[in-house]
Structure 1
Amino acid sequence: MALSPYSLLSERSRTLLRIFGAIIGLSATISLPPLFLAWWWNEPSATAFLESFLVAGIAGFILWFPVRNAHYEMRLRDGFLIVSGVWIIAVLVTALPFMLTAPYLSYTDAVFEAASGLTTTGATVIVGIEHLPKSVLFYRASLCYFGGMGIVILAVAILPMLRIGGMQLFRAETTGPQKDSKLTPRIADTAKALWLVYTGLVLLCTLSFWVGGMTFFDSITHAMSTVATGGFGNYDASFGYWNSPLLDSIAILFMFLGGLNFGLHWYAWRRATLGHYKADAEFVSFFWICVVISVMVALAVWLGGRFESPVEALRHATFQVVSNITTTGFVTTGFVDWPGLAPLALMMVGFIGGCAGSTSGGMKVARVQMVVRQGYRELKQLVHPKGQFLVKVGGKRVSESVVISVAGFCTLYILSFLVMTLALTADGVDIVTAFSAIAACMNNMGPGLGAVASHFRDMSDFAVWVCSFAMVLGRLEVFTLLVLLTPQFWRD
C-alpha cells in the first residue's frame, strides 16, 4: 500500500500543516459577510467573493483534513513560526477579492491592500475609493476589524481545535513589552474578553457616528476602522469628506480609546471604574504627549497661516495628531502642505505609537518611556560614576532584562527602518517619499509625505513589496518575524 506524503512528515510538521490549513480556511470566511451583502445588493462582486471563499476554503481543507488528528506540544519557538506564518498566509488569502472584482488590482497591489487592512495600516493603492462596490468597502473595513485585535487571538478564542499552547501564541502576538500578563487564567478566556471589549467599542462608535450624521453604512465601516486604528475609509477625502467638527470629535475619542491598552478597558468594564486609567503611567504619558504635540502643531499651522482661527487650527491639529500617534491614518485636510514643523512632527509621532496592548502600531509609549529613562540614567551615571540609579515606570523598578530587551527592540526597529528606506531609495524613490513611505508602513500609520501623501499607486512593484513587508514586520513588532531569519532558530 502506497504511503501518504503526509506520513513522511514529523508530528511537528503535520501539526503545523493542520494549523496553517485551519487558518487558510478561517481567512476564507472573511469573504462571507461581504458575499452576503453583495448578493443582497445585487452587486457583481458577489461572484468574486464566492470564488475567493471556495478557492481558499478548499485549499485549507486539503491541507487540514489529512493531518486533522496530528498533535504536537508546541514550544515558544513554534509560536513565533505560527504567528508569522498565519499573518503571511492571511494576507495572501485575503488579497484575492481585490483581484477578482473592482478595483481589479494586480496581485502585488492586492497583497499590499490586504496587508494594509489586516495590519491596520490604512495605506492604499486605490484611487476613487467612493466608486467601489459597497461590499468591497465593507470588506476593506472588515480587514481592519479582524486585524485590529489580531488574527491569531481570534483563532485562539474560537478555534480550540488548534489544541496548542495558547500562551505561546499570545506572547508572540500581543503588542508591547508586557506580553506575559493575562487578564484571565485561561488564554482563550483572555482573548474572548479582549474581543468582547473591542466589539463593544466598535458598536458604541457605530452608534455615535450614526447619531453624528453619517449614514448607517458609513458609520459601521468607519467604526470598524476607527477602533481598530486602521484608517480605511469610504472616500478619497477620508474624514475631510464630511468636514464636521462633531464627527471629528467622535473620531478623536475612539481613535484615542483604540490607542489605549485594552486591558484597561476590560478592567473598566468589569469593575465599573475609571480610576485605574490615571493610575497607569503609560496612559498618563500617552495623554500628555497627545496634548502637548497637538498644541504645538496647532500653533505652527495657525501662525503659519494654514487656518484662520486658532479654534479651527486646534481642531484639525488634534485630529491629525491623535490619528497619527494612534497610527490610525485618517486625515481631514491632509497635512503634507502644512507649514513649519507640522508635517515632520506628525510623521515622527507615529514612531511613538499608542500604548502596549492596543491596536496601534509604532514602538509603543511604554518602550519609549523606558528608553528615555535609560538614557537619562546613563547621563546621571556619567556625573556620578559610583551611583546606583534605577529605571522606574509608574514608580516601580523595571528589571535590567526588560530594559535590555526594550533597547534591543528599538535598535532593531530603527535598523530595519533604515534598511528598508535605503532599499526604496536604491529603487529610485526620492528621499522624502522613501522615508515617509517606510515610516507610514512600518508604524502602521497610513499616510506619508511626497508621492505617498494620498496613495501608493505610483510606487514600483518592488517598492510595494518592500512596503508590504514593512507593514507585517511592524505589526508583529520586529522580533516575531526577524527571529525566523536567524540560523539559530532553525537549529534543534
Structure 2
Amino acid sequence: MQFFSIIRIVGILVMCFSFTMLVPAFVALLYGDGGGRAFLEAFLLNFGVGTLLWWFCRHHKYELRSREGFLIVVLFWVVLGSLGAVPFILLEQPDLNFSESIFESFSGLTTTGATVITGLDSLPKAILFYRQFLQWLGGMGIIVLAVAIIPLLGIGGMQLYRAEMPGPLKEQKMRPRIAETAKALWLIYLSLTILCALAYWLAGMSGFDAICHSFATVAIGGFSTHDASIGYFNSEIINYITVFFLLISSCNFALHFAFFDQFHGRYKGQARNRFLRLYWRDYEFRFFILIQFSLFLICFLVLWAYSYFDNTQTTLSQAFFQSVSISTTAGFTTNDFSSWPSFLPLLLVLASFIGGCAGSTGGGLKMFRVLLLYLQGKREVHRFIHPNVIQPIKLGKYVLSERIVEGVWAFFSAYFFVFVVCWLVTIACGMETFDALNAVIASMNNLGPALGSVSSNFTQVPDSAKWVLTFAMVCGRLEVFTLLVIFSPTFWRD
C-alpha cells in the first residue's frame, strides 16, 4: 500500500476543494450580510492542511492500484466532509456545535438534504449558498471532477473513477480515457444546472434562489434557502420545473452522455432525428418511468378519493411533485406529505429505497439493481416449476453474467445489514424506534425528510445519533462496498 502517495493525492484534492470556499466568500461580499470572514478563514485552513499533506509527500509518485483508489475515495470524503464543516463551526449564525456542523456538511456533500438548521429565511446569503454549493459538488462526485485534472498532476484516474461512480456496472467504460469521460459528464452536469437555473428564474424565482435551487435540483439534494422548501414559492410552474429536472437528473448519466454524442453526429450511420429512441431502448429507463408513473397514479387516486385538496388540479400537482421528489431521494417539499391520508406517507418513504437510476445523482438501491432483483425472483419462481431448465437473466437480447447478479445480491445484503446495524445503534443512542427507523432511511437513502420527528429537520436527534447517521449517509453515497471494503483484512494484505 503506497500510503505516502495516497496522502500526497489527498493533499492535492483538499487544496483544490479549499478554493470552493472563496465562492461563498464572494457571495458574502456581494450581499454584505455577513459570513465572508468565516469562509476566508476556512479557505486558509483547508488550503494549509492540503498543502502540508502534499508537501511532505510530494516526491512519492506511483501509479494507483484499485486498492489505493478505494482508500483515497474514502479518505477524501472523510477529510472533505470534516473540512467542509469548518464554516459551520466558525459562523455565529447559525450557531451549530461540532456534531451538528459535521452532520450538516456531510448531509450536503452526500446530497442527503437532512438539516439541523432552522430559520433559513433569516440566514446570511453566503451560508445559504454554501449549503447548496456543497450539494452541487457532491452530486456527481467530487472525485469525478478531480480526475478531469488529475492527468495534469501525474495521477492515474481510472481507479478513483471506479470507486466513486455510482451503479452496479462500474467496470463499464464510456470512453477509453477517463479524463475525457469526467470532463464530458461534468459538462452535461453543468449544462443541466444552467438550464435549470434559467427555468427557475423565468418562472419567477430571484436570481439567487434560482441558482441555489438549481444546484440542489440537479444534484437531487433537497436543500433549500427557505424553511418551506419549494412550497415557499407557491407556484405550480416552479413545481413542474423541479419535477422535470429531477427526472432528468435521476436518469443514468451514461444515457445523457450517449445522447449528446449521438446528437452531435458522432455515431455514424444513425440519423439525428432518432436520438430520443436511445432512452426508450434502455430497460432501466423504462422501468424508472413505470415506477414513477405508478407512484404518481396511486398518490393521485388516494388524495382524490379522500378529497385531501380543494380541487383536482392541486391534487394532480401535489401528487406529481411529492411522488417524484421523495422517490428520487431529492426530498423537496411543497406540502407536509407526512400528514397525507392512508398509506401514502409510508409508501413514498419506502419508495426512496429504489431511488434513481444507476449512474445518476440519486440515492437508494438504484433502479437497475431493483430490476435485476425482480428478474432474478421471476427466474427462481420459474425454476420451482421447471427445475432442470437453464434460464439466464436477459435484458432484451443481452444476457447478464452471473457475476453481475451475484454482485447485486451481495450489495443488497450488505446494504440492509448496514441499515439494520445503524437502526439499532441510533435506538441505543436514545431515539424512539419509529423515529430511528425513519432517520436511518432518510440518511442511508440520501433522502433527507422522512416521517416522525425527522419529517422536517433533524434538530431533535441526539448528537451521538448524528454521528451514526453521518456514517449512514456516506455508506449510501459511496454505495456501501466502497466504504466496507477497507474494513476487510484482505484489503490490507499485499
Could you state the TM-score of these two structures normalised by the residue count of structure 1? 0.96
Specify the alignment match of 2:220 in structure 1: 229
- Alignment match of 1:288 (pick from 287, 290, 297): 290
Provide Cα deviations, 1:160-216, integer angstroms capped at 9, x if missing partner: 355333111111111111212222221011000000000000000000000111011
CA contact (8 A) 2:15 2:47 kept: yes
CA distance in 2, matches of 1:91, 1:107: 12
- Alignment match of 1:247 (pick from 233, 238, 241): 238
The gaps in structure 1 that reach 5 residues or longer are 1-9
CA distance in 2, matches of 1:323, 1:395: 33
- Counterpart residue type for residue 322 of structure 1: V
CA distance in 1, matches of 2:154, 2:481: 24
Matched, 1:277 2:279: yes
- Alignment match of 1:332 (pick from 331, 334, 337): 334
- Counterpart residue type for residue 95 of structure 2: Y
- Give the secondary-structure state (helix, strand or coil) at the position aligned to 1:67: coil
CA distance in 2, matches of 1:465, 1:163: 36
- Counterpart residue type for residue 40 of structure 1: L
Specify the alignment match of 1:87 in structure 2: 77
Specify the alignment match of 1:20 in structure 2: 10
Specify the alignment match of 1:215 in structure 2: 206
Which 10-residue stretch deviates more, 346-355 or 13-22?
Answer: 13-22
* Structure 1 residue 98, shift from structure 2 partner: 0.9
CA distance in 1, matches of 2:152, 2:341: 55
* Structure 1 residue 395, shift from structure 2 partner: 3.6
- Alignment match of 1:477 (pick from 455, 476, 479): 479
Specify the alignment match of 2:417 in structure 1: 415
Matched, 1:305 2:307: yes
CA contact (8 A) 1:167 1:187 kept: yes
CA contact (8 A) 2:355 2:366 kept: yes
Q: Provide the aligned C-alpha RMSD in A.
A: 1.2
Matched, 1:181 2:183: no
Provide Cα deviations, 1:240-283, integer angstroms capped at 9, x if missing partner: 10121100000000011110011111222222222200011000
- Counterpart residue type for residue 5 of structure 2: T
Specify the alignment match of 1:461 in structure 2: 463
- Alignment match of 1:97 (pick from 87, 97, 112): 87
Specify the alignment match of 2:55 in structure 1: 65
Specify the alignment match of 1:54 in structure 2: 44
CA distance in 2, matches of 1:111, 1:30: 17
* Structure 1 residue 40, shift from structure 2 partner: 2.5
Specify the alignment match of 2:381 in structure 1: 379
- Give the secondary-structure state (helix, strand or coil) at the position aligned to 1:30: helix
- Counterpart residue type for residue 39 of structure 1: L
CA distance in 1, matches of 2:446, 2:232: 23
* Structure 1 residue 232, shift from structure 2 partner: 0.8
Specify the alignment match of 2:21 in structure 1: 31
Matched, 1:397 2:399: yes
- Give the secondary-structure state (helix, strand or coil) at the position aligned to 2:67: helix
CA distance in 1, matches of 2:461, 2:215: 28
Matched, 1:434 2:436: yes
Provide Cα deviations, 1:25-48, integer angstroms capped at 9, x if missing partner: 122112110111212222331110
Matched, 1:206 2:197: yes
Identity %: 45
Provide Cα deviations, 1:111-131, integer angstroms capped at 9, x if missing partner: 111111111111100011111
Specify the alignment match of 1:158 in structure 2: 149
- Counterpart residue type for residue 220 of structure 1: I
* Structure 1 residue 372, shift from structure 2 partner: 1.1
Matched, 1:321 2:311: no
CA distance in 2, matches of 1:219, 1:339: 32
- Give the secondary-structure state (helix, strand or coil) at the position aligned to 2:352: helix
Could you state the TM-score of these two structures normalised by the residue count of structure 2? 0.95
Specify the alignment match of 2:368 in structure 1: 366
* Structure 1 residue 391, shift from structure 2 partner: 1.2
* Structure 1 residue 24, shift from structure 2 partner: 1.9
CA distance in 2, matches of 1:49, 1:43: 13
CA contact (8 A) 1:299 1:313 kept: no
CA contact (8 A) 1:295 1:314 kept: no
CA contact (8 A) 1:36 1:46 kept: yes
CA contact (8 A) 1:156 1:162 kept: no
CA distance in 1, matches of 2:106, 2:356: 20
